[in-house]
């Protein structure tokens, strides 16, 4: 068997995992929970292969579902099966070079600072770039989330999403039909072991209403409560993320978005899906 997980979390992060996610403080109990999830998957889905079954990988599903075994098992199964079923997306996720325009443009990029609740801040700019393909955007979101989830602080503290809709075009809106949006929501809400702490939209053009009308009904109630429209009033973002952390595009004093650096991270990462 591969080397077992050994907890090396700093005290504050471990306390957060224990208090908020029901994670066992004792590593023996933590490993027992991981083994239970691994064994349950093999029993319940004997014909479905887990491409990864190491402790670190399985642990993120338990954390995402606050160590509820049934919910973690369902999310893990969805993670393994939903992407391959969406062939066009899966091809892009497996071969990030296919979304080079989105990566070069910095369509989805995490920033260096954290939100006030400790979550990692991810900035999305739908429509930025030349190809303007909805599937490329989704693949970029999936890849970025996968890579961030390799970090234990992201697993425990989650992510805060800020979307700058200033680049949204009618061309992209036309590509966003109900069927594709439904698949996207299933992947992000039902299969990704990620805690989305808040979803924020800024600079919404009039055509955003069309996209919103398609996406909002497909959101789970929990996500609806965490979705906020800010328009051009960036001051409302400062309640979530300090102004000194936000990049200038949000009237912040933080550094510019490092699109090139994140592109190199994605292309250099050997993410196992």
CATH assignment of the domain containing 15:
1.10.8.20
Among residues 203, 228, 111, 98, the alpha carbon closest in space to that of 159 is found at 111
> What pLDDT does 57 receive?
98
Same domain, 67 and 99: no
Task: Express as a percent the part of the chain with pLDDT over 70.
Answer: 98
Kindly indicate the confidence band of residue 273, based on its pLDDT and cuts at 50, 70 and 90: very low
Which tokens is 207 given? 């055509």
Domain end position, chosen among 85, 107, 126 = 85
**CA–CA gap between residue 32 and residue 15 (Å, rounded):** 19
Same domain, 172 and 259: yes
List the domain range (segments joined by +) for residue 234: 95-268
* pLDDT average, residue stretch 135-160: 97
In a domain, 25, yes or no: yes
* pLDDT average, residue stretch 152-161: 98
Same domain, 157 and 24: no
If DSSP codes are grouped into helix, strand and coil, which group holds residue 163? strand
Same domain, 198 and 112: yes
Same domain, 182 and 241: yes
**CA–CA gap between residue 192 and residue 196 (Å, rounded):** 10
Cα end-to-end distance, the chain, whole Å: 20
* pLDDT average, residue stretch 174-186: 87
Which tokens is 63 given? 């954390």
Q: What is the largest CA-CA distance in the chain?
A: 55
In a domain, 5, yes or no: no
Residue 145, pLDDT above cutoff 70: yes
Number of domains in the chain: 2
Q: Which residue has the higher pLDDT, 119 or 222?
A: 119
Domain end position, chosen among 53, 85, 117 = 85
DSSP code per residue over 249-263: GGT-SSPPP-HHHHH
Asked if residues 140 and 103 have their Cβ atoms less than 8 Å apart, the reply is yes
Mean pLDDT of the chain: 93
Residue 176, pLDDT above cutoff 90: no
> What pLDDT does 1 receive?
55
Same domain, 105 and 213: yes
pTM for this predicted structure: 0.94
For tokens 């080397």, what's the residue? 3
CATH number at residue 156: 3.40.525.10
> What pLDDT does 272 receive?
40
Same domain, 68 and 127: no
Domain end position, chosen among 85, 108, 129 = 85
Residue 101, pLDDT above cutoff 50: yes
If DSSP codes are grouped into helix, strand and coil, which group holds residue 133? coil
Same domain, 78 and 105: no
The 10 Å CB-count burial string (b at 16+, else e) for 201-227 is bbbbeebbeebeeebeeebeeebeebb
pLDDT tens-place string over residues 70-83 = 999 999 999 999 99
> What pLDDT does 271 receive?
42
Dihedral sign from CA coordinates of 142, 148, 151, 155: negative
Same domain, 80 and 110: no
Kindly indicate the confidence band of residue 215, based on its pLDDT and cuts at 50, 70 and 90: confident
> What pLDDT does 119 receive?
98
* pLDDT average, residue stretch 80-97: 95
In a domain, 90, yes or no: no
In a domain, 115, yes or no: yes
């Amino acid at each position: 068997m591969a080397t077992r997980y050994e907890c090396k979390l700093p005290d504050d992060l471990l306390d957060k995992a224990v208090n908020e996610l029901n994670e066992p403080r004792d590593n023996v109990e933590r490993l027992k929970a991981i083994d239970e999830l691994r064994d349950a998957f093999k029993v319940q889905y004997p014909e479905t292969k887990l491409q990864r079954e190491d402790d670190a990988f399985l642990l993120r599903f338990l954390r995402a579902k606050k160590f509820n075994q049934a919910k973690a098992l369902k999310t893990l199964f969805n993670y393994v099966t939903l992407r391959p079923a969406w062939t066009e997306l899966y091809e892009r996720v497996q071969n990030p070079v296919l979304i080079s325009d989105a990566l070069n443009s910095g369509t989805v990029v995490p920033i260096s600072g954290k939100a006030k609740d400790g979550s990692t801040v991810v900035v999305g700019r739908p429509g930025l770039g030349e190809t303007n393909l909805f599937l490329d955007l989704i693949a970029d979101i999936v890849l970025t989330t996968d890579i961030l989830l390799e970090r234990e602080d992201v697993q425990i503290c989650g992510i805060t999403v800020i979307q700058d809709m200033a680049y949204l075009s009618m061309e992209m809106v036309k590509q966003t039909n109900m069927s594709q949006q439904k698949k996207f929501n299933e992947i992000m809400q039902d299969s990704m072991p990620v805690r989305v702490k808040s979803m924020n939209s800024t600079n919404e053009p009039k055509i955003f209403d069309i996209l919103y009308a398609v996406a909002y009904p497909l959101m789970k109630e929990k996500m609806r409560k965490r979705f906020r429209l800010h328009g051009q009033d960036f001051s409302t973002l400062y309640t979530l993320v300090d102004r000194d952390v936000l990049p200038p595009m949000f009237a912040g004093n933080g550094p510019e978005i490092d699109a090139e650096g994140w592109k190199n991270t994605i292309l250099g990462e050997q993410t196992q899906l």
